[in-house]
Structure 1
Amino acid sequence: MRTRLTAASGILLLALAGCAATPATSTTPADESVGDGHGEIAGAHELSEPALHLTTVDEEGGVHHLDLLDEESEVLTEIDPIDDLVSDGRYLFGIRDGSVTVIDSGVWTWSHIDHFHYYEAPSRVIGDIEGSGLATVVAGETGTGILFDDEAALIDTPALADGEVVENFRIPVETHAGLVVPLATGAVITQPDADGTAQTLRIVDADGTAGESVPCANAAGTITTVVGVVIGCADGAALSVGGDPSEWERIAYPADAAPAATDFAGREGRPSVAALAGSGGVWLLDTRDRSWMFQGVGEEIVRVAAVGDDADRMLALTATGSVLVLAGGEIVARTEPLVAASVADPELVAGVTFVVDKNRAYLNGPAENAMWEIDPADGARIARTFQATAAPLHLAGTGR
């Protein structure tokens, strides 16, 4: 079974200097090329603050864009219905059997190491990437990995800014539930054993040339933190730091570990991420300290995400539709059942997810036709409720 993946990428450590202060407004003309390493593209406007949006896709394929500043909503485009949605904070990858539709949301944040630049440009559908079966997509800064049933592909992410889908490589693979994880250069592709279970990570160059292998039994789940690229393994996590494809560390589970993590979620740019530990517990992986922490919850959990604050808070969605805030080994807050109908529906629950920002978290309820803004640091207070114009079947945060 292929699980929903959060966006992952290779870490680019850029020593950039001489950056001017971000202006309050932009006067960049639409026909002037402004690309200079600051995340700008022709036609983009630089903003004084991030243009944070919630982007959702409904059952019919309508792509909706909710501006979190003025709470205005618009329809970006209409695409064929999808089964899953992955985003890196700018680009959206709508996944269905046989193809992946790539959409530029038109809002993004560019990290300049010690500060950020914020941009807005017209949104657009860039194109479709076709292949066999329901793809697994891992979005990254330099490349986006796509695993179809019998092919692995690496898409050039910077080329998407020019409205082009450029495949760095597309190579045949054995059918298995696995990953193509982009690195700073090239990628790693999971390789299965005779039973079709991913057991190793094959390092490949940007052109698809195969290199050495890294052991990773039952490889499942990936995410990028401020420290490096994480891939889940049966005995812990494989961690690539500094962008060297051949350098991997192992963060082993503690003795008598709970079930292994198979999916990770957390706030972008933070060292800690969360993962389910079976149905009744949560893992917190701190990639900076190279450590795992387990917290039992005592009830069934269907989704988790790390808040990434100083209190090591985590969010957990229960099987009854309530949101829990976990910290210090305890449940410190609980909401009423917000998405009870959505999590009770097997066809809807897969699309219910958290989007976590610095001060707020967001949750979608397709059956409830709503989204909620939650303050994890204030007793899980519901700061705002957004009534959706169409059921938010899939949710992503854009402008980040």
Structure 2
Amino acid sequence: MLHRTSPLLAPLAVAVLMLAGCASADAGTPAASPASGGHGAVDGAKEMSEPPLAVVTIDPGGVVRQLDLLDETVAELGDVPAASRASTDGRHVFADSGDGLAIVDSGRWTWDHVDHFHYYLAAPVMLGQVAGRGPATVATTSSSTTGSTGIFFAGSGEAVLLDTAAMSKGELVERFRLETAPHDGMAVPIGSYALVTQPQGGVAASVSIVDEDGMPQPGAGADCTDARGTVTTRVGAVIGCADGALLATLVDGEVELERIPYPEGTTAPPATAFAGRDGRPTVAGPAGDQGIWLLDTRARTWTLLAVDRPIVQATAVDDEAQHVLALGADGRVLVIDGTTGALLAQTEPLVAESLATDAGSPTLVADQPRAYLNGPAERAVYEIDFADAARISRTFETPTSPALLVVTGR
């Protein structure tokens, strides 16, 4: 059952920090400044001629640093409460402390027009914190300037929908805050709606559709036993279920839910996390100890790729060569043929020490044509040219442990 509660926002101890003189503010070649309100532009942002990509890391003490991948300068953005995990919509960084969600605007984003793109650079901002209890699951759309951002706090069972357009202008505005029974759930935005998990026996068992004011849509929803893992692709929003995935798409402004079942007779464990290159239809996730699941949301199909070793993470590049990247439990990055499952290349064990200790969680992020991996124990961030025999193209040493990593500017 959903219950509405009043919005509650708590400021960070560091309040609002604007970095007007960021060292990387002139990276790339600026084009003419765009008019506000169009093509993903925001007042004060510069339009760029190429993506202003950056790696954002958070150390164990909560210090947030941003590495400009064009000119290799580093800016310290501020502090957040010590976080256990981080995610991004390509612009905003969401740092989960287990007692609220801190949000940082990296000041870098891409507006996707499908057939062309617009790139923007602005001053980064420490936006503040959304209050909540327990681990926070964040679900975003493909836009960092429009629509909504979903947050679910497992400890309190609260589903929160933030106004992404307001967030892109420096404000944290809750469209709704709904109460359910505490569980490891999700609030997944799509169009002017959101999918909110409903528990049974403390486990997510179904999905309801609510509008952006938090009002349930009568009769709208679907069963989704043990719902875990969500991602938004070019096609729609995905939620993982024990028997497959729910794909939510917009048809004439309304949400349609479609079930994509696992192949008949499969014994591989379900995917509980999904990752892929931004703007592509195919995503990947570990299939327990049996390999990697690939979900093609355009074709509505699953493919199981056998891998010869335990996998910690997997992500689909979904490029012309159908590359799939994986982080092995031995600390190596694997480059796999997504059509045959053949191992094409692998790195040395870059983050073996991190995986063997509790220094932090290495995160593998795929872009085109590079991938990025943090080594918390190794105090390094690796840039990997996966199309060139998994060559390490750059290694960035860090002053403290890069415990958490996201890539912004896409």
Report which stretch shifted further, 140-149 or 180-189: 140-149
**1:12-91 alignment to 2 at 5 Å?**
25-28=30-33, 34-91=35-92
Provide Cα deviations, 1:67-125, integer angstroms capped at 9, x if missing partner. 11111111111222111111011001111122111111011111123111111111111
Paired residue for 2:152, among 143, 147, 152? Answer: 147
The CA RMSD measured in Å over matched residues stands at 1.6
**1:189-208 alignment to 2 at 5 Å?**
189-193=196-200, 195-208=201-214
2:186 maps to which residue? 179
Contact 2:196 2:210 in 1 (8 A): yes
Question: What's the offset of the Cα at 1:27?
Answer: 5.0
Contact 2:359 2:377 in 1 (8 A): no
2:227 maps to which residue? 219
Distance in 1 (CA, whole Å) between partners of 2:400 and 2:149 is 29
1:16 maps to which residue? none
Contact 2:190 2:250 in 1 (8 A): no
Higher relative contact order (CA 8 A, sep 6+): 1
Distance in 2 (CA, whole Å) between partners of 1:237 and 1:66 is 35
Paired residue for 2:261, among 246, 252, 256? Answer: 252
Provide Cα deviations, 1:14-62, integer angstroms capped at 9, x if missing partner. xxxxxxxxx953454xxxx932321111111111111110110011111
1:239 maps to which residue? 247
Contact 1:135 1:147 in 2 (8 A): yes
Contact 1:101 1:128 in 2 (8 A): yes
Aligned identity (percent) is 48
2:341 maps to which residue? 329
Paired residue secondary structure (1:254): coil
Contact 1:64 1:73 in 2 (8 A): yes
> Which stretches of structure 1, 4 residues or more, deviate above 3 A after TM superposition?
243-246
Question: What's the offset of the Cα at 1:218?
Answer: 1.3
**1:92-171 alignment to 2 at 5 Å?**
92-140=93-141, 141=143, 142-148=147-153, 149-171=156-178
Structure 1 unaligned blocks of 5 or more = 1-22
The one-letter amino acid of 2:312's match is V
The one-letter amino acid of 2:232's match is T
Question: What's the offset of the Cα at 1:129?
Answer: 0.7
**1:302-313 alignment to 2 at 5 Å?**
302-313=312-323
Paired residue secondary structure (1:242): strand
Residues 1:288 and 2:298 aligned together: yes
TM-score using structure 1 length:
0.90
Paired residue secondary structure (1:342): helix
Paired residue secondary structure (1:303): strand
Contact 2:324 2:335 in 1 (8 A): yes
Distance in 2 (CA, whole Å) between partners of 1:43 and 1:116 is 19
Question: What's the offset of the Cα at 1:279?
Answer: 2.8
TM-score using structure 2 length:
0.87
Provide Cα deviations, 1:302-353, integer angstroms capped at 9, x if missing partner. 11111111222111111111111111221111111000001112452xx311
Contact 1:86 1:138 in 2 (8 A): no
Contact 1:144 1:157 in 2 (8 A): yes
1:5 maps to which residue? none
The one-letter amino acid of 2:36's match is G
Structure 2 unaligned blocks of 5 or more = 1-27
1:397 maps to which residue? 407
Distance in 2 (CA, whole Å) between partners of 1:119 and 1:341 is 37
2:357 maps to which residue? 345
Distance in 1 (CA, whole Å) between partners of 2:304 and 2:199 is 29
How many residues align? The count is: 371
Distance in 2 (CA, whole Å) between partners of 1:132 and 1:143 is 21
